[in-house]
Chains A and B, each alone.
Chain A
Amino acid sequence: MSHILSWITFLPLLGAVLILLIPKSKSGSYKYIAVFSTFLSLVLAIWLWVGFDKGLAPNIAQLRASGPSLDMKAYGIQFVERYVWIRAFNIEYFIGVDGISILMVVLSALVSFIAVFASFLVKKPVEPIHNSLAGIQYKERAYYPLILLLSTSMMGVFVALDFFLFYVFWELMLLPMYFLIGIWGGPRKEYAAIKFFLYTLLGSVLMLLSMIYMYFFAVPTHGTFLLADGSHATHTFNLMYLAYNAHFKWVSFVTAKLLWVLLFIGFAIKIPMFPFHTWLPDAHVQAPTPVSVILAGVLLKMGTYGIFRMNFMIFPHATYWAGTIIAVFGMINIVYGALVAMAQRDFKSMVAYSSISHMGYVLLGMSSFTIEGMDGAMFQMFNHGTITSMMFLLVGVIYDRAHHRDMENFGGLARLMPVYTAFAAFAFMAALGLPGLSGFISEVLVFLGSFQAHRVITMVSMSGVVLGAAYVLWMIHRVFLGPVKHEEYAKFSDLNWREWTTLVPLMIIVATLGVYPLPVLHSMTASISALRSNILAPHTVHAMSTGLHAVSQIVKTTVGAG
């Protein structure tokens, strides 16, 4: 099937258009269209993953030597679709996947499907609705197209290999997210939506700056870049050419570092990395459950994915230079996120801060420049997507019933809702990295990998293991155990079929990948390995002769070896 990637990306959008075409009188069909389109997209994504050539990796040295090629397989890219889009600026519709994006494509399709399915109940949470499980629908005609548009734009970010196209998808994602929080959100939804929007926009501006800079100052090493139709070009947005067939005119290493930092901050806001993280708890607390699921499950990964795709691939020198810095921020995220999570009373806000902590593992792992650490980071992105989605779904379950999220005001739910408790125990144990479940594999890989590079930083980060257990167990203690605090909660029904259906697939994935992670590790290792060699290649390291490098080396040897 040709164009499979385009189908995966735009099927949700097609669904959105279809919904808009159907008159309001048939509004009952909206959700089914939405679910069907995302389901189809998910099936195709899994098919894509099955057909993905797991061993394909670029030979970077050869690529550098031989100049730009139209054969994208040589760049390790599969399922390529490439057409000239705006010739005046050499902008292409260029999509494809490699080991870095394949998992994100699957995750994005999966989480979109789950989130749409979980939306079957979306309602305005501020209204006191007693029989909430009957499902009250609220502006469905706006809601489903928006969430489908969100799905398309997220997928677009992961498959786009033209920087301009990437940027378009990146920005496109903001729009539905803003409305989804702003209309269907909680009491402070306007504040949260605007904060999310502006904060992300700030990141986008930084990205835009570096994109424009790169477009104009990237000089082809072999005289020319190629467009999809074979014609020559002097500037390009093609990420593959920018990474391997270009050097930057007038650009000293300092400028490369500047570009690196601009891009990094842009992505760091999305992760979110301390100190740019405060939009996240607000957005989560105000967002309705399915939107939280997408936000935590996929959107945050766009940040770390961007770092892999842009910073690591295009600026290996600066990446190498920044290794320790990334690790330090990863450590801060892990420890600080966990500490703040522990002090939360709001259930959802605790889960939001736990996300910050867990995304720190991704930063720590990627900064190690070891296969174990980088694979662990990629795997952690995937696992965080599944596990956190479960956690937000579970928070949604109790919020739908109790209409509050104050952990101090629950207690004893284990007796009232045993099935719910079992699911929650599973999800939160996965979150604290219980061995045997998928989160453990990625955590331990991150640790084993980054320990090779940053011993003290990793050791401090490992305290996240203790803090993670503390906040999770304390939450379970307050919410589920002890005597029943409010007898009126006795009327709460246990999980309904919709909640089962959203949780069980995620559970199966989390449990399976804990004992058999090999297929996932396999699909990314070739690309990660190439990416890593590029960063650690001798020419990269020898270019590191600036003073800053010396400083970072001193830091490394004194702090790192200690």
Chain B
Amino acid sequence: MHEAAIKTIHVSYLWLMPAMPLLGFLINGILGKKLEQKLGRWVVHSTAIGAVAVSFVVACITFASNIAHPHAVLVTRLWDWIAFPGAAHTLHVDLAFASDRLTSVMLMVVTGVGLLIHIFSTGYMASEDHYGYWRFFAFMNLFMFAMLTLVLGDSILLMFVGWEGVGLCSYLLIGYYYQDREKAAAGMKAFVVNRIGDFGFIVGFSLLLWSLVGTWDQVSGLYHYQAAFSPTLTFRNIDALMADATFRNAFLAKHVLGVPVVTLIGILLFVGATGKSAQIPLYVWLPDAMAGPTPVSALIHAATMVTAGVYMIARLNFIYAYSPAAMTVVAVVGGLTALYAATIGLFQTDIKKVLAYSTISQLGYMFIGVGVGAFSAGIMHLMTHAFFKATLFLGAGSVIIGMHHRQDMKDLGGLKGLMKSTFWTFLFATFAISGIPGTAGFFSKDEILWKAFDTNNLLIPGWIVWLLGFIGAGFTVFYMFRLVFQTFYGEPRADEHTLEHVHEDWRMTSVLWVLGILSLIGGYVGVSKSLGGSNRFEHYLEPVFERSAAQIHFLSEEGGHGFMHSMGGEYTLMGLTLLLIAVAIWLAWKIYYNKYRTPEQEAEMYGKGLHRLVFNKYYIDEIYFKFVVNPLLAFTRACKWFDHWVVDGAVNGAAWLTKFFAWLDGGIDAVFVDGLVNLSAHATLGLGRQFRKLQAGRIQQYIVVLATGLSILVIVAFLLK
């Protein structure tokens, strides 16, 4: 074992974090309906919130412990999960949870934001009485369990349990309003598209295991595990192996089809990430996922689950750092997605849809971060995004509840005075996502863009990725302010009746304020050096990324050229970005401030063709349907036809032929052979006779077959003696 390289501290409590929500799920899932009827709803949500609260407390303890032990991994080992006792050099995976500093950041985000959103949900779901209040909270708790398993999993396999588990919960919660066929279909789409990504993920980790420990066995001519140890697929184990020069060199020298396996692994695992984290080309499920209740969108489809791909890449930084090609793929796909999704966000009219595309776009920034080697910047954006995007979604949720389930801009407008808390927190979060200086998003996004420009890890110059992100940032500001103006400013467009009943719920607004303020100040944990900070966030995560640090190169650190070497480059880019933000806000102000623009007006303004193309999301869904889904369905029908007419047809044809020959034989028997016992004919045509007799229902003839078998035996034995 190569675990010596990484210090492990065994603790007893990590399992509590996933276990408590699991318990909450079981209680509410099995007894929830009865509890709700007999004791009231408070029992249901108290159970759910209590479970997450305990997880949150344990997460805080873990966080403190991780602060105290920078270079150690906290591990709670439950039992041998997959193992082959007695067989040497075989896969051995423990059911174990582990937490290092990276994990602890995720834990705080997941349990913290998760707890807040659970509380918010008590308000949002208060009027829900058709689909089961208990069902919602049971699924939310199940999600927390899966997400915490994903984050805490000690091995890739256990992470994968969480990975698929969050997918399941996403499916269950998107399809929460299951009697609406379209909403149910959105859940199905999410699951299937995620599974396409998971296919890449499975191939990826199979390849990883194979290339880490499999060697060519000359004797049997087969690949199988021949390592001097039992492969475990734990992150620590892989990390330690990669730290060992002999292993690493053998690993890096492996090629499949001329491509280094490390690159293939990186790209395949990233395919999994494009599914889970909604990147090109598998992002299509996320906008549809807005069919779920809004707290679900906030928790799963903004703050936590969709960031799993980013977390996975940061977790496997010691693999990615060795493949510039894979990093390039990650960064470029991230950059393209950041820009592409931002453009779609420009013309959406459903406020949740705008936020959905915004999420896809922001995830793209996180992938730029981890792709260019700025792992901690990517993770920091993950955290700040969790704050501000949760605020935005929950704010949208507050609007939706306040406005009686209206969420299209044409029915909104003028809510500034009607929903004060919602407006202000929404505005804070908008500042944050736009990158207004001082807000959380400013520090994280700026850091990512700078690192993208500065990187020297990619196969292409870093400024290309930077440019994608830079333009995307402009669009982001524009669509966000458009959203704010169209929703909260101008004249209210809703009907009288609705406006009379506009209200805010304290259970929701209190959460909004907490998250809104976090969106403003959350960035101060990681103020970069150029801004006079010490970047504590990066410093905190340093031990996690220290082994890959040697492979990560930035121009400024190496003194590539003068412009990059001083702080000048960084300040210049920052200035450019700020200018862009100002221009974008000004434009949005000009166009949308106190003026409602219908889609038709927008089409006039921006050009009809362009508007139609973007408004219809570049027709990607239609293209996928036409070129992927429908051909596949046609192919399955063709397979069914083939199965019925060709494969089964051959069987039935053979039966018919046998019957025919049996009939013929019967005729020949009667007319020509006339009573002569012809054993060989019986042997060859026996089956046909059987068939005819069976058709007549005389199954007793079966015994004849057994007897025939025995008699052949006797005859052969006799002949040979």
Contact = CB atoms under 8 A, between A and B. Distances in A.
B555 to A, nearest CB: 38
Interface in A199-236: 199, 201-202, 204, 208, 212, 215-216
Given A452-B214, A481-B179, A195 B161 contact: no
Interface residues of B, number: 81
Interface string A256-287: 00000000000000000011011100000000
Contact of A198 (B90, B199, B687): B687
A456 B281 CA distance: 23
A72 to B, nearest CB: 20
A194 B210 contact: no
Contacts of B514: none
Contact of B651 (A278, A469, A521): A278
Contacts of A515: 81, 95
A536 B178 contact: no
B179 A482 contact: yes
Interface of A: 54-55, 57, 89, 171, 174-175, 178-179, 190, 194-195, 197-199, 201-202, 204, 208, 212, 215-216, 274-275, 277-279, 320, 323, 336, 339-340, 342-344, 369-372, 375, 412, 414-415, 422, 429, 434-436, 440-441, 444-445, 447-448, 451-453, 455, 458-459, 462-463, 465-466, 469-470, 473-474, 476-477, 480-484, 515-518, 521-522, 525-526, 528-529, 536, 538, 541, 553, 556, 561-562
B405 interface: no
A198 B705 CA distance: 11
Interface string B174-211: 01001111001100100110011011001100110110
B675 interface: no
A422 B635 CA distance: 31
Contact of B636 (A342, A371, A448): A342
A429 B165 CA distance: 11
B717 A465 contact: no
A461 to B, nearest CB: 10
Interface stretch (B47-55, B337-345, B459-467, B639-647): B639-647
Interface string B668-699: 00000000000000000001001100110101
B79 interface: yes
A145 B275 CA distance: 53
A336 B647 CA distance: 12
A340 B633 CA distance: 10
Given A89-B717, A451-B209, A525-B86, 12 more contacts: A174-B702, A199-B651, A215-B713, A339-B636, A435-B161, A436-B165, A462-B202, A465-B199, A469-B191, A469-B192, A469-B195, A516-B81
Q: Which secondary structure dominates where chain A touches chain B? A: helix
Contacts of B161: 435-436, 440
A526 B709 CA distance: 36
Contact of B90 (A371, A470, A562): A371
B221 interface: yes
A482 B184 CA distance: 7
Contact of A451 (B188, B195, B206): B206
A278 B179 contact: no
Given A201-B690, A465-B202, A474-B188, A536 B220 contact: yes
A375 to B, nearest CB: 6
Contacts of A482: 178-181, 184
Contacts, number: 220
Interface in B142-195: 157, 160-165, 168, 171, 175, 178-181, 184-185, 188, 191-192, 195
Contact of A518 (B81, B198, B219): B81
A525 B80 CA distance: 15
A525 B85 contact: yes
A274 B643 CA distance: 10
A521 B83 contact: yes
Contact of B639 (A175, A336, A369): A336
Contacts of A323: 222
B699 to A, nearest CB: 6
A110 B222 CA distance: 37
18 contacts: A178-B699, A190-B697, A195-B655, A198-B691, A208-B709, A339-B635, A339-B636, A340-B636, A370-B225, A371-B84, A452-B223, A455-B210, A465-B199, A470-B195, A482-B180, A482-B181, A518-B81, A522-B84
A278 B690 contact: no
A59 to B, nearest CB: 13
Given A444-B202, A473-B188, A518-B80, A452 B225 contact: yes
B643 A278 contact: yes
B196 A466 contact: yes
B229 to A, nearest CB: 15
A429 B179 CA distance: 20
Most chain B CB atoms below 10 A, which of A414, A436, A440? A436
B706 interface: yes
B720 interface: yes
A198 B206 contact: no
